[in-house]
Amino acid sequence: MSRIATAFAEHKPLLVAYLCVGDPSVEASFDIARALLDAGADMLELGAPFSDPTADGPVIARASQRAIERGSSMRAAIEVGARIRKSSNAPLVLFGYANPIVVRGERETVKRVADAGIDAMLVVDLPPEEGQDLRDEARVRSVDIIPLLTPTSSESRIAAAKKVASGFVYYVSVAGVTGATTTDPFDDAARAAARMRAAIGLPVVIGFGIDSADKAKRAAAGADGVVVGTAIVRAIEEAGGDVSRACANAANVVRGIRAGLRAG
């Protein structure tokens, strides 16, 4: 059984923690990743910084820009994953955009991901109908390719995702960017997640806008886990480059969300 399948079997609902690798530095990202796991995160999303992160709101976009300025990249995110794997069996997901993958080569990128011990890739702007080389190489190397679905995903898009999905499904709570939720979609998202699970046959996690224990608890009522991203990245930003404070801030976010999930 894969690390991802084992995690869903043993720890549901999962708490998936996102960080932008390279903010405030690549070395600090490793320390923060360890702090997130120690605080109760079940899975890590290692965000590869990108200059045009179209799915990300202003908080993560700023972090991505800072990370690029400090020398981070998809290569750095993979290397941090390899370091984490040496001391942790937690599932790791490389989160990024298609352009850096295409530039490096789809098959070569998947090879490096697998060699690093990273379990899955979530390519935000990769439709299920594209990326055949990437998907073929991932299948050979047992790397899951995580589909991202939204409230506006059509039945045909859900069916297309089902054909190529593995690992789990990432369900976006709103039709928008990360951290920009102004409505309260989490009860609806929980119901949608349950439908997605039945339709695709994989665990479903809910992301975008989950920044409190209450939201996490409500989302997890119908999902197999929740993703916390912007709240963690904001907590790191508020540390102002102080690595110890960044670790503590990020860990506190995870502890608060974890408490909400336990209460559920």
4 located within any domain: no
Residue of 23, 42, 45, 144 marked catalytic: 45
Contact between residue 256 and residue 212 where contact means Cβ atoms under 8 Å apart: yes
Q: What is the pTM of this model?
A: 0.94
Instruction: Give the CATH number, domain containing residue 99.
Output: 3.20.20.70
Mean pLDDT, the chain, integer: 93
1 located within any domain: no
Q: Where are the beta strands (DSSP E) in 173-224?
A: 204-207
Instruction: Give the per-residue pLDDT at 175.
Output: 56
- For the stretch 191-226, pLDDT in tens is 999 999 999 999 999 999 899 999 999 999 999 999
6 located within any domain: no
| Structural domain of 64 | 12-263
Give the pLDDT mean for 114-122. Answer: 98
- For the stretch 140-179, pLDDT in tens is 999 999 999 999 999 999 999 999 999 999 999 875 444 4
| pLDDT class of 11 with cuts at 50, 70, 90 | confident
- Which comes out higher in pLDDT, residue 52 or 141? 141
Q: Which residues 6+ apart lie within 8 Å of 132 measured at CB?
A: none
Q: Which residues 6+ apart lie within 8 Å of 25 measured at CB?
A: 70, 72, 243
Count the neighbouring beta carbons within 10 Å of the beta carbon of residue 180: 14
102 located within any domain: yes
Total tally of structural domains belonging to the chain: 1
Location of structure tokens 């789990």 = 168
What is the percent of the chain with per-residue pLDDT over 70, rounded to a whole number?
A: 95
Instruction: Give the per-residue pLDDT at 52.
Output: 83
Instruction: Give the per-residue pLDDT at 147.
Output: 95
pLDDT at 98 > cutoff 80:
yes
Location of structure tokens 């955009």 = 97
240 located within any domain: yes
Active site residue 56: yes
Instruction: Give the per-residue pLDDT at 158.
Output: 94
- For the stretch 220-261, pLDDT in tens is 999 999 999 999 999 999 999 999 999 999 999 999 999 988
16 located within any domain: yes
127 located within any domain: yes
Reduced to 3 states (helix: H, G, I; strand: E, B; else coil), residue 92 is: strand
Active site residue 45: yes
Residue of 23, 42, 56, 144 marked catalytic: 56
Per DSSP, 220 falls in state: T
128 located within any domain: yes
Q: How far apart are CA 166 and CA 83, in angstroms?
A: 24
Contact between residue 255 and residue 40 where contact means Cβ atoms under 8 Å apart: yes
